[in-house]
Amino acid sequence: MTENIKDKVVVITGASSGLGAETARHLVREGAKVVLGARRLDRLEALAKELSLGEEAIFKVDVTDREQVKAFVDHAVKTQGKIDVMINNAGIMPLAPLEMMRFDEWDQCIDVNIKGVLWGIAAALPFFKEQKSGQFINVSSVAGHTIGAGGAIYSATKYSVRVISEALRKEVKPYNIRTTILSPGAVDTELPGSVGAPGVSEAVAGFYHQTAIPADSFARCVLFAMSQPENVDINEILFRPTAQEL
């Protein structure tokens, strides 16, 4: 499952914790070269130290800022010489009924979950086109396949990731670029902490406490998608805890 990973340069957004950090650990273990981006530089520095990475392997970036994302990817190419995989992982999950009118959360969810993915694609695509190779791994969710009460905005953003990724898949055929959507269910990360609505946050935290599976479940899916031969394009992986119904 770990063939074709050694020496690949992998850029990861949202890498300071959770899915991004655990994926970085697995990739480094398999010989990949990672460049990690997030807003929390102190967390990135701690992860880089844990993985024995140099300072060039981390970059402070807010994915809602297109120029910052471009600078992040440009930095990766400048320091590593290329980029092979772009993992658009950064995301938030501000679940709440629409009647609560949490407008700031709506804006932030759209900016991070949709625009953040678009900016990551825009930053890496010119390099992939030029080298006639590359792989996008865009993170959607089970919520990008099904909708629950309180999940209108979050599900809308995660459905959008799947729509964007499928259009991208069709558009990049001339350039030998691969596209993968990862749609996890409840995974043990800090994501439930982005639920701020009273009553909802407690219910989500309880559900995750009882149901969530470890973040290495996601990391293994990344390695599987990356490790395929160049003529095999794993377009989507949807996975949940065995106990999760939604």
Q: Residue 26 is inside which H or E element, if any? A: helix 18-29
Q: How far apart are CA 224 and CA 236, in angstroms?
A: 11
- Catalytically annotated residue among 154, 159, 175, 208: 154
Please confirm, yes or no, whether 154 is among the known catalytic residues: yes
Q: Tokens standing for 111?
A: 């900016």
Q: Tokens standing for 106?
A: 């709506």
Note the Cα 183 to chain centre separation in Å. 10
Q: Residue 169 is inside which H or E element, if any? A: helix 152-171
Q: How many CB atoms lie within 10 A of CB 29?
A: 13
C-beta of residue 224 within 8 angstroms of C-beta of residue 124: no
Q: Which residue has the tokens 């300072």?
A: 55
Q: How far apart are CA 37 and CA 76, in angstroms?
A: 10
Beta bridge partners of 192: none
Q: Which residues are catalytic?
A: 154
